[in-house]
Chains A and B, each alone.
Chain A
Amino acid sequence: DAGVIQSPRHEVTEMGQEVTLRCKPISGHDYLFWYRQTMMRGLELLIYFNNNVPIDDSGMPEDRFSAKMPNASFSTLKIQPSEPRDSAVYFCASSWTGREQYFGPGTRLTVT
């Protein structure tokens, strides 16, 4: 198995632009998680899905952030408009049970 796949690995954009991060979970995993990691706040859970349905989005910072999971093999995290404080590493993780999570390599986002 290729593991969790994320794209792009690096994204540099200007403030105000739309950013879309993509994730392909491990096949057969029913849970998908989006995290953000920064030096100041560590690893934060943004949202998670079970069977493609959003279960808890209380970690999404504000309305500029949205996430979708149109099918079992694909999810997106969108930021519109982006701001410099959104700069972070964004991780996607998937799980069969909701407990043991397998993380992707992350997308390093820089908003200038």
Chain B
Amino acid sequence: GESVGLHLPTLSVQEGDNSIINCAYSNSASDYFIWYKQESGKGPQFIIDIRSNMDKRQGQRVTVLLNKTVKHLSLQIAATQPGDSAVYFCAEGVANTPLVFGKGTRLSVIA
């Protein structure tokens, strides 16, 4: 679908391997971060969030790491499955202002 750009970074991983998707955010004042997953033809789907007073948060098969010093966010997916193939967006927010979304990274899982 028309959900990805021609020049999106792409990460290809073997099924069963772990995936790490990185995101550099821009605003040092951002205090809230979310990772979204967008499959072809669908809307972005919430995966996991983290607040700036944390540096790690774990969910089911996913872990988000936050490094405020270098303004870097990462999403780790354990035991990557074909259903994980999608575009992943990070988003940052400050107080009650709207989220600012990154450009996205395409994850391709090789069976």
Q: B residues bordering A, Cβ < 8 Å?
A: 1-6, 32, 34, 36, 42-46, 49, 89, 93, 96, 98-99, 101, 103-104
* B46, closest chain A residue (CB): A100
A-B contact number at CB 8 A: 56
B5 contacts A106, C-beta separation under 8 Å: no
B46 contacts A101, C-beta separation under 8 Å: yes
Interchain CB contact (< 8 A) of B3 among A37, A97, A100, A102: A37
Bound-state CA distance A100–B45 (Å) is 10
Q: What secondary structure prevails in chain A residues at the interface with B? A: strand
Q: Say which size band chain A's interface belongs to.
A: 20 to 34
Q: A residues bordering B, Cβ < 8 Å?
A: 4, 33, 37-40, 42-43, 45, 48, 56, 88-89, 91, 93, 97-106, 108
